[in-house]
Amino acid sequence: MGEKTFYVTTPIFYVNAKPHIGHAYPTLVADTLTRFYRQRGVDSYFLTGTDEHGINIERAAAARGVALTKHVDEIVDEFKTAFAPLGIEYDQWIRTTDPGHEAAVAKLWRILDERGHIYKSRYEGWYCPNCNEFKEVDEKTSDLVCPTHERPLERLAEESYFFRLSAFQEPLLDHYAKHPEFVQPDVRRNEVISFVAGGLKDLSISRVSVKWGIPVPGDPKHTIYVWFDALSNYITALGWGTDEHQKFARYWPALHLVGKDILRMHAVYWPAFLMGAGIELPRTVYAHGMLLRGGQKMGKSLGNAIDLGVLKRHFAPDLIRYFLLREVAFGQDGEMTYEALIDRSNSDLADGLGNLASRTLTMVRNYFDGHPPRLRNEEQSETEDVSSRIEEAKRRFDEEFVALNFSRGLEAAWAGIARVDKFITDNQPWKLAKDPARRAQLESVLATAYEALRHLVLLVAPALPATSREIWNQMELAGDPLTIDPNKAVWGEPIEVSKIDRISPAFPKLDKGKIMAEIENENAAPVSEGVEAEDGGGKQAGNESAGLQAGMPALPEVPALPGPPATQIITIDDFAKVELRAATVLEAEKVPKADKLLRLIVDLGEPQPRQILAGIAQHYAPEEIIGRKIIVVANLAPRKLRGLESNGMLLAASVGEDGKPVLATFTEDVPNGARLK
RNA sequence: GGCGGCGUAGCUCAGGUGGUUAGAGCGUGGGAUUCAUAACCCCAAGGUCGGAGGUUCAAGUCCUCCCGCCGCUACCA
């Protein structure tokens, strides 16, 4: 290990959703990495936590009729409770409501202000409370819903402080160029560079209409933008900006694990803030992929979410962790299904590592009365290959884990396991055991197998902390495998061992049919356990990047209370302003050079047919829409799109993940121009 | 539309700077074995390496075009 210290962070989780596998994923990875470095003697620190400010939290608490602090406390507890059984051992759980954090964020603000990176202006535009982001939408034509959430946007016209993000375009590009490791994987770096090269606008970093947050220093009617608040956690947690900044000096800069959906905040905004304040940038922002099911993001609306509650009831924590590390290429999207989980468990863990331990220990117990034979220095050309393969596995494992290629690292370890299995089969110790004359050979074979297993268990310990300890104990070895550096374990060195007697499978074989049936039963009759619920609405349930509020769904239904007011209530007068009319499509054609646009000529019962444009070209061919009866918003302000004027908007349902449009129509004949009310 | 990436055995994927019979794991089929969680070990698929051209003595591996996916971004809804 070259590094002197290691500091890893997960996104901090936005407390308006229940914990789910999407939160657990980067957290398990961070935990594994921390164990990996720590096992190798690197001074390591693992930070996770919760993001608790913002308008959404404010509203959710209000909807529940609960005090804000009580509300967030309860949800934080839920997160901690959900993570505990997964074997996650973080060093610190930061909360953005921690007083120390709030003070340090204010300090960061003051520094940026003093250095001239902040100015006061006025913001007018549309805001998505789910993203906590301002959206650029065209109000004349838009539905005014957030493109990622399909939730209504909110109109904001208020005084706001701005961060001079635009001034950091060149410094950022320069940094990306000089530090290719700063944004990973490469694909993501390309995206970030392309985004920044496209020009940066100054960033609104305060809100006056939000109270639940950190006040702007010197201007308390403003509240600091939640992302500014949240991102700062990575340094405030270490005591930056306070008298207690030893950890900051010791551990910064960090490896930030983030979901690819919140990459921009981490790879553009965050380093710009830090540059502005003259603080060293993170070492790496690594964007991991999303967990998929059936090729699609997990989500309740699709009914395909993998549920933490179900996972915990049926599968061991080590298996969940191993699966995510081994099956999913970190940095790429990955499929996660219960079936695949069971298959991995059976083939890799039960038949692989588990069975190797089992057969080795059983023979030691049966042939050597439980006392593992040790290697002798005599000729053992046959075993030399085994030891060199194990060393190779160790070397590759470390190389890949440092590069965050967990899947490949584990592959290397398993190649080592296969080599030992083959060695045992080739040498047939069960036959040697029947011939007293070949006792020495038997000893050599089992000593080699046992020694190889010792090294392999050490190697995989960060990925299988609980079960590696279990196997280690069954091997009757002294100490804790998670505190022994595999690279310092010497082949054949003297070790402390006691008599082996209790042997039991560390990874019992899983009955796929049975487990799948059980899971299906549960899905049919959902068990009410807090941690498993996804949100009630929106398309973005389960899988969004853990935390930092990138599209976290709103709080799930609270018992005995109606759901939070995700939609604005309007009066009948508001509705009356909208003039909906029946119409018939007379002509339709694709608009050149536009992916989604169809140009329609519609009969609204008016003297002249109208031209309207509709963004449905990806789902409706012009010919299949001609002649259809549709519903049009007739009094929408005219709008030019692609140089063509649109005089109205057709109505369509937005269905599914990608908002596929389905045209609204009538089942009975309706004259053109008939008003809907 | 712009930028980036992908498309290799049933499935998931490896295949720096072009060069022997294109690989691995899983699944499947056959064999061998019995120490072990019916596990392990051995053998097998004969895959137009998305399609079409081109460069080259030689191309999954370079170039051009096309098709199909995906991401970011713009436009749009």
- The C1' atom of B42 and the CA atom of A480 lie apart, in whole Å, by 37
Q: How much is the pLDDT for A61?
A: 92
- The C1' atom of B73 and the CA atom of A133 lie apart, in whole Å, by 17
Q: Which helix (H) or strand (E) holds A451?
A: helix A439-460
C-alpha closest to that of A348 among A316, A313, A306, A319? A319
Using the predicted structure, report yes or no on whether residue A604 has a pLDDT greater than 90. no
Q: How confident is the model at residue A536 (pLDDT cuts 50, 70, 90)?
A: very low
Higher pLDDT, A304 or A434: A434
ipTM: 0.92
Higher pLDDT, A132 or A79: A79
C-alpha closest to that of A160 among A117, A201, A203, A128? A203
Burial class (CB in 10 A: 0-12, 13-18, 19+), A330: buried
Higher pLDDT, A629 or A24: A24
* Residue A104: strand, helix, or coil: helix
Q: Which helix (H) or strand (E) holds A258?
A: strand A255-259
Q: How much is the pLDDT for A567?
A: 33
| Cα distance between residue A206 and residue A224, in whole Å | 4
Mean pLDDT of A81-85: 89
Q: How much is the pLDDT for A141?
A: 43
Angle at A25 between CA A19 and CA A27, to 5 degrees: 85
| Nucleotide showing the shortest C1' distance to residue A264 CA | B72
Q: How much is the pLDDT for A415?
A: 94
| Cα distance between residue A397 and residue A411, in whole Å | 8
* Residue A129: strand, helix, or coil: coil
User: What integer best gives the mean pLDDT of chain A?
Assistant: 83
Q: How confident is the model at residue A566 (pLDDT cuts 50, 70, 90)?
A: very low
| Nucleotide showing the shortest C1' distance to residue A150 CA | B77
A49: β partners? A94
- The C1' atom of B32 and the CA atom of A427 lie apart, in whole Å, by 14
Using the predicted structure, report yes or no on whether residue A673 has a pLDDT greater than 80. no
| Nucleotide showing the shortest C1' distance to residue A423 CA | B41
Burial letters A162-186, b for 16+ CB under 10 A, else e? bbbbeebbeebeebbeeeeebbbbe
A639: β partners? A646
Q: How much is the pLDDT for A595?
A: 62
Using the predicted structure, report yes or no on whether residue A607 has a pLDDT greater than 80. no
Mean pLDDT of A665-672: 77
Give the tens place of pLDDT for each residue, A201-239. 999 999 888 899 999 999 999 999 999 999 999 999 999
| Nucleotide showing the shortest C1' distance to residue A194 CA | B3
Q: How much is the pLDDT for A382?
A: 60
Q: How much is the pLDDT for A17?
A: 76
Higher pLDDT, A360 or A141: A360
* Residue A76: strand, helix, or coil: helix
- The amino acid present at A393, given as its one-letter code, is A
Name the H helices within A146-245.
169-178, 186-197, 226-231, 233-236
Tokens found for residue A232: 């700062």
Q: How much is the pLDDT for A275?
A: 97
* Residue A122: strand, helix, or coil: strand
Q: Which residues of A are catalytic?
A: 20, 23, 128, 131, 146, 149, 297, 300
Higher pLDDT, A541 or A103: A103
- The C1' atom of B35 and the CA atom of A504 lie apart, in whole Å, by 15
Q: How much is the pLDDT for A419?
A: 94
Nucleotides of B under 7 A from a protein CB: 1-5, 12-14, 25-27, 33-42, 71-77
Higher pLDDT, A78 or A640: A78
**Residue found by looking up tokens 């100015």 in the block:** A119
CA distance to A63, A563, A567, A616, per residue, from A560 (Å): 11, 9, 19, 40
| Nucleotide showing the shortest C1' distance to residue A295 CA | B70
Task: Say if residues A445 and A432 touch (Cβ distance below 8 Å).
Answer: yes
* Residue A35: strand, helix, or coil: helix
Burial letters A334-356, b for 16+ CB under 10 A, else e? bebebeebbebbbebbbebbbbb
Mean pLDDT of A93-100: 96
Name the H helices within A282-432.
308-314, 317-327, 338-344, 355-368, 381-402, 406-427, 429-432
Task: Say if residues A200 and A164 touch (Cβ distance below 8 Å).
Answer: no
Give the residue nearest to nucleotide B33 (CA to C1').
A425
Mean pLDDT of A241-264: 94
Using the predicted structure, report yes or no on whether residue A323 has a pLDDT greater than 90. yes
Q: How confident is the model at residue A644 (pLDDT cuts 50, 70, 90)?
A: low
Mean pLDDT of A96-120: 96
Give the tens place of pLDDT for each residue, A449-497. 999 999 999 999 999 999 999 999 999 999 999 999 999 999 999 999 9
Task: Say if residues A327 and A407 touch (Cβ distance below 8 Å).
Answer: yes
Using the predicted structure, report yes or no on whether residue A560 has a pLDDT greater than 50. no
What number of other Cβ atoms are within 10 A of residue A160's Cβ?
23
Q: How much is the pLDDT for A533?
A: 30
- The amino acid present at A542, given as its one-letter code, is G
Q: Please tell me the least confidently modeled range out of A19-28, A280-289, A531-540.
A: A531-540
Q: How much is the pLDDT for A608?
A: 73
Q: Please tell me the least confidently modeled range out of A197-211, A234-248, A372-386, A496-510.
A: A372-386
C-alpha closest to that of A5 among A44, A31, A33? A44
Mean pLDDT of A504-527: 84
Q: How much is the pLDDT for A522?
A: 79
Give the tens place of pLDDT for each residue, A586-602. 777 776 556 667 778 88
* Residue A119: strand, helix, or coil: strand
* Residue A311: strand, helix, or coil: helix
Give the residue nearest to nucleotide B1 (CA to C1').
A593
Mean pLDDT of A146-155: 62
- The C1' atom of B28 and the CA atom of A572 lie apart, in whole Å, by 65
Tokens found for residue A48: 């996770």
**Residue found by looking up tokens 């603000």 in the block:** A109
Mean pLDDT of A294-318: 75
Q: How much is the pLDDT for A565?
A: 27
Q: How much is the pLDDT for A72?
A: 95
Mean pLDDT of A288-317: 77
- The C1' atom of B52 and the CA atom of A105 lie apart, in whole Å, by 59
Higher pLDDT, A565 or A584: A584
